[in-house]
Amino acid sequence: AQSVTQLDSQVPVFEEAPVELRCNYSSSVSVYLFWYVQYPNQGLQLLLKYLSGSTLVKGINGFEAEFNKSQTSFHLRKPSVHISDTAEYFCAVIPNSGYSTLTFGKGTMLLVSP
Amino acid sequence: DTGVSQDPRHKITKRGQNVTFRCDPISEHNRLYWYRQTLGQGPEFLTYFQNEAQLEKSRLLSDRFSAERPKGSFSTLEIQRTEQGDSAMYLCASSPTQGGQPQHFGDGTRLSIL
């Protein structure tokens, strides 16, 4: 079984400041990792994914994440946030065996203020 | 790519009534997933299909819940004898079969039980 821990339930930040949203996971098998964003009353939109290869992955809207296998982490970063980045962010994992489903963290609410 | 479509977007019903939700996946996607999301939580897996076969069901899916995907295209999720605890957002997602391909989510159906 897999589990995902998002260490911060809420992260307040000022516009144009950098931000890091933390994600740690636990799994007995190798996994693929994802970050999704959810705006109010909408579904989840994929930000980025890590399958293999370079541990630094770039996604949409200027976000990037770094996979650290030894620390079982997959933290999300953005060098300069905008008001429009205010949303809920979810980290998720899935075993790379191909026959299973996503396990999500509880989410981190990013609150960007002017 | 028209995206994953869910209907209705909102459903309000009285306790004890039956409700049915529909999901239309991205047309070339073989896999279809149902998740439930309650306030302040990440999505929790309910069940998934590969084509018309239901391959996995979560323990969250009590015997009041049933899901179908009769022709391997759209899917329905029915809840019988609804209870207050069923109030949640029900999310549908789809993906290709190939491992590591991300799941694409619909905007969800928000169920409110009076």
pLDDT digits (tens, 9 = 90+) for A25-68: 999 989 999 999 999 888 899 999 999 889 999 999 999 999 99
pLDDT digits (tens, 9 = 90+) for B50-82: 999 999 899 888 899 999 999 889 999 999 999
pLDDT at B21: 97
> Which of B105, B109, B110, B111 to probe by mutation at the A interface, max A CB count within 10 Å?
B105
pLDDT at A97: 80
- For the record, the structure tokens of B36 come out as 């439930």
Question: What residues of chain A, 5 to 64, have a C-beta less than 8 Å from chain B?
Answer: 9, 32, 34, 36, 41-46, 49, 51
Separation CA A4–CA A42 (nearest Å): 22
Give the mean pLDDT of A61-89. 96
Per-residue confidence band for A99, with pLDDT thresholds at 50, 70 and 90: low
Q: Answer whether A32 sits within 8 Å of B104, measured CB to CB.
A: no
pLDDT at A61: 93
Partners of residue A90 in chain B, C-beta under 8 Å: 42-43
Cα A85 to its chain centre, rounded Å, is: 13
* Residues 6 or more apart in contact with residue A93 via CB below 8 angstroms: A2, A4, A25, A27, A31, A32, A33, A34, A102, A103
Q: Answer whether A43 sits within 8 Å of B4, measured CB to CB.
A: yes
Q: Answer whether B100 sits within 8 Å of A96, measured CB to CB.
A: yes
Partners of residue A103 in chain B, C-beta under 8 Å: 45
Q: Answer whether B48 sits within 8 Å of A101, measured CB to CB.
A: yes
Strand, helix or coil for residue A40: coil
End-to-end CA distance of chain A: 41
**pLDDT surpassing 80 at residue A72:** yes
Q: Are residues A64 and A79 in contact, defined by beta-carbon separation less than 8 angstroms?
A: no
Distance from CA of B52 to the nearest CA of A (A): 16
Q: Answer whether A43 sits within 8 Å of B108, measured CB to CB.
A: yes
**pLDDT surpassing 70 at residue A71:** yes
**pLDDT surpassing 70 at residue B1:** no
Instruction: Tell me how long chain A is.
Output: 114
Per-residue confidence band for A101, with pLDDT thresholds at 50, 70 and 90: confident
**pLDDT surpassing 80 at residue A98:** no
Q: Answer whether A100 sits within 8 Å of B56, measured CB to CB.
A: yes
Using the Cβ of A95 and the Cβ atoms of chain B, whether some distance falls under 8 Å is answered with: no
